[in-house]
Structure 1
């Protein structure tokens, strides 16, 4: 059988009706699909561009353009000869880039980061939330980290998207714990500090001065932040720098401290608990300020270990600057009593009084330290031997009002003016009104006797005792102690106490007598003459405190030294504190001749406001 193929004509509609219907329906469906798809795309584009256009444009830009803030290098601190006391060293710091991840993805990243760097996840999260999840700024979440942690972060980088390790200058103290209480230390802003400091341009994770001059000079040392605006690819690699503002380093500050003398005095004080301050009596420049126990401020430039923190806790208040804390000044205060007696014209320099084993007032006995008295003596002998019964009689005659008046003139009961005011305790000059208000009791004659010998409720710090000594040494001027080295005329740092020349000479002669035949006669040094006063302060039930304050050379004073040994026990000021002060003078005479540092910078430091 033969089959014949049927030929159809494309021009004959009757022959192709079924095929044509199918093609048209397919085309119509295709067109409808395209229209619907385009409508959906158009609607989405309309939503993205018009409704959320600004937000998505910002997100797109932030994924491509990154703002990398650069902290400034903190201003350096130098001693008077140009030796570096505080500078910076390069370290690595961990940052988060908030916008790199959606909010919901940060939790596992933060948890893993916490495990690597040893900072609680909640602490890291709090810093991120303070800055905000959509912030393009880097958020600092750590202090300096060890090379070991840097390596660990690199190894886990796939799990830590949005985490960056950046080089940064961190505070460094090349001399360790030397002058720790003067310099202070730096640390990160706390959550409690941040709200107030945001207004001053600080941000989460910023570092600022926490104590000492780091705190007092924060405005000068801080500097100004800079940064870079960079374009990055999908992997965060920088493609190009779009713009930059270099950070502005903080101002360098030159201090009055002499590092060589500071080190010498640190060795002289040794492990004794107490303090020593040395200053120029003519202009108030602090040459050395030592307090013990101390701490190494470098510990706070990074993450302090638990072991290091525990070691600090074992010490007795290592962060307290004992030079600026108050104690009963004891017999060093007899200088004030003598000045008040002579200036009130109740006594003349050559008056004499009998002394006794003790004064009996209302059933209370005020003993001389030798338990026998010193016979009939004048002011020079009374100061040299430190007779309590002599100055107790003087105090009863001139009254507490005169003593209080001259206490304030010398600087007691007031802030000294030093830049470390935040850490200074100004002490107490008691009087009847003060006692009634604070203690709720009337004033008794025994209070006046106690006051006249620097006991009872009289409280003073080492700096105030040094200021009093300086006033006698420099010709009767109250000086303002300071730590910033400036080229100002010395007259700007002092004011006259208007002590008569005769009475001033008597005060100087009485302090010289302490070394000539008094409580410090065994400590006279052949090549430098000194004048000063010892003191032994009661602190029941604990052991006594030991004081000694002096100036040298006697003929033309260059240095005042006040030494204090806290709860030193037996021996008193002449046996324990006096050698510390004398050795400090000897050290000063040696180191003052040493040359400046080779690269001693000339610094014009702005006055802090």
Structure 2
């Protein structure tokens, strides 16, 4: 009986040892290894954002954080350490205790008791380092934007990962306390900018004391990106936009699509997201003024700037030719409704109609060519589709002339009426165009009929021919130049500037004040800059509100170049 009991006991021991050492051996070895090692992660330095001449627009700053070992927190030495922390941080011992208790719930290896120490605190720590046993300093990198809100909508911002995001991204090398690009270039080029984590693996004894360093992996820094933005032009655009409450500016190379300035007002300081905005700051960001919205990528009625599209529809459809004359009158009545105009010049050609921005001419043109041709010309010139800019996740496609919520052709009488055609011909109604789309269209007119792909990061030029007839382009060139020399934008007929061609616009937005526009390019013969200015609910007229802002940009650019 004793022998049987002994055999059973030995069998149980052997079975348990077999389970622990053979079946569960790899798992237990890993647990034992983890018990004797500690990992200290090192975040990568995020790549910088530079303007086209190398001026730093976004970089990373180093912040010093203070940590203590949890074993110190629970040891007899804690009162002394707490007193030292209290002196170093200029906090009461009770406050230090509170911070440590909160951190202890989150982390069982290192307690982060203070972030972003001042230079004086860091110096005090190193001067008395021998006294601060159980306390250590470590470095954290935070995104920094040295020029504050300058180009904030282009660069975007970063913030820490949410838990649900981490569950999806941890397989891609992200850590629970990692930061990720949320908007702008920071988001579009996240994989390029972020780099990869490094860290140290330390061997510790049962008391948690470091015995030796097992591994040391240096973090890989993210790559720098050189943007197409011009610092001086961007600064001038943002300062000029402060003349209105809300608006946007796009300045772009008419030949290549390189964006030299993209500004939206009101703006925000992306530094507040490093590490996180306060409640009051977030309330400001989430206000009705919508400072986080990039208005350069949002759709608005284009008003009279759209008359170049109506001109294209008229000439390309064959309904009119370059010598055609259309009647300009004080009013135009159709199907029981009358539409008024500010001028009456009788029979005029297309260049003159563009110069004086005659509405009644384009009412007649719109009805003559029909809604289908208007839509065709709009889409041919890039309206109603994405531009190809890197910020595609923020970009609105706008509306080239289809009623919202319907995919039907506007010529379908059940969906479209003569009123829609009439008001669309002058850029009102269901039309919505982004400032960037408009910059692309006017660049195509200026460069001889090529739709360029706007871009914010230096890359080869991508463009496609829109297929406009030479005669059509000549009429547009003549008309847009005439707008500046004789028409609604004579403010830009300035000897200090090269010859400018463009178009103004004033869009109704009841019950609010009108929007105002200017879109144009310079030099007239071979433009290297196209400028679009949009002023939201500014009141006034395109020639008196938007054109002066455009003049500031043109003067800045051509004085510099």
TM-score by length of 1: 0.77
Cα displacement (A) at 1:191: 2.0
Partner of 2:367: 396
Contact 2:299 2:432 in 1 (8 A): yes
Say yes or no: does 1:551 pair with 2:521.
yes
Measured at CA, do residues 46 and 346 of structure 1 come closer, stay the same or move farther in structure 2, by a change above 3 Å?
A: closer
Structure 1 equivalent of residue 463 of structure 2: 494
More deviation in 350-359 or 252-261?
350-359
Correspondence 1:219-298 to 2 at 5 A: 219-233=191-205, 236-272=208-244, 273-298=246-271
| SS of equivalent to 1:349 | coil
Q: Residues 552-598 of structure 1, C-alpha deviation per residue, up to 9 Å, x if partnerless?
A: 011221100000100001x2111100111121111111233xxxxxx
Rounded to whole Å, the distance in 1 between the matches of 2:357 and 2:416 is 25
1:533 equivalent to 2:503? Answer yes
Deviations 1:68-121 (A, max 9, x none): 22111111111110111111110135789999999xxxxxxxx98895399x88
Q: Tell me the equivalent position of 2:473.
A: 504
The answer for the alignment partner of 2:54 in structure 1 is: 82
Q: What is the number of equivalent residue pairs in this alignment?
A: 517
Aligned ranges 1:312-391 → 2 under 5 Å:
312-313=285-286, 316-368=289-341, 370=342, 372-391=343-362
Aligned to 2:424: 451
In the alignment, what sits opposite 1:574?
Answer: 543
Shift of the alpha carbon at 1:198?
A: 2.1
Indicate how the Cα distance of structure 1 residues 494 and 57 shifts in structure 2: closer, same or farther if over 3 A, else same.
closer
**1:568, 1:142 → 2: CA distance?**
50
- Confirm whether residue 212 of structure 1 aligns to residue 148 of structure 2: no
Cα distance between partner residues in 1 of 2:289 and 2:526: 39
Give how far 1:230 is off: 1.6
- Give the match for residue 185 of structure 1: 157
The answer (yes or no) to whether the contact 1:145–1:303 under 8 Å persists in 2 is no
Measure how far apart 1:525 and its partner are. 1.5
| Counterpart mapping for 1:103-118 below 5 A | 115-116=98-99
Q: CA deviation at 1:394?
A: 0.6
1:170 shift after superposition: 1.4
- Note the 1:22-101 alignment, pairs <5 A: 58=30, 60-92=32-64
Give 1:521 deviation, angstroms.
1.4
SS in 2 for 1:193: helix
Unaligned runs of 5+ in 2: 1-9, 75-93, 126-132
Q: Distance in 2 between matches of 1:374 and 1:236?
A: 91
CA RMSD of aligned residues (A): 3.6
TM-score (structure 2 length as normaliser): 0.83
- Report how far residue 234 of structure 1 moved: 5.5
Which stretch of structure 1 is more off in the superposition, 387-396 or 298-307?
298-307
Q: Secondary structure of the equivalent of 2:438?
A: helix
Q: Give the distance between the partners of 1:562 and 1:332, measured in 2 at CA.
A: 10
Q: Which has the larger radius of gyration?
A: 1
Q: 1:359 to 1:80 in 2, by over 3 A?
A: same
Q: 1:393 to 1:146 in 2, by over 3 A?
A: farther
Equivalent position of 1:420 in the other structure: 391
CA drift at 1:276: 0.4
Measure, in 2, the Cα distance between the counterparts of 1:143 and 1:380: 68
The alpha-carbon distance between structure 1 residues 168 and 548, as it changes in their structure 2 partners (threshold 3 A), is same
Inter-partner Cα distance in structure 2 for 1:284 and 1:98 = 56
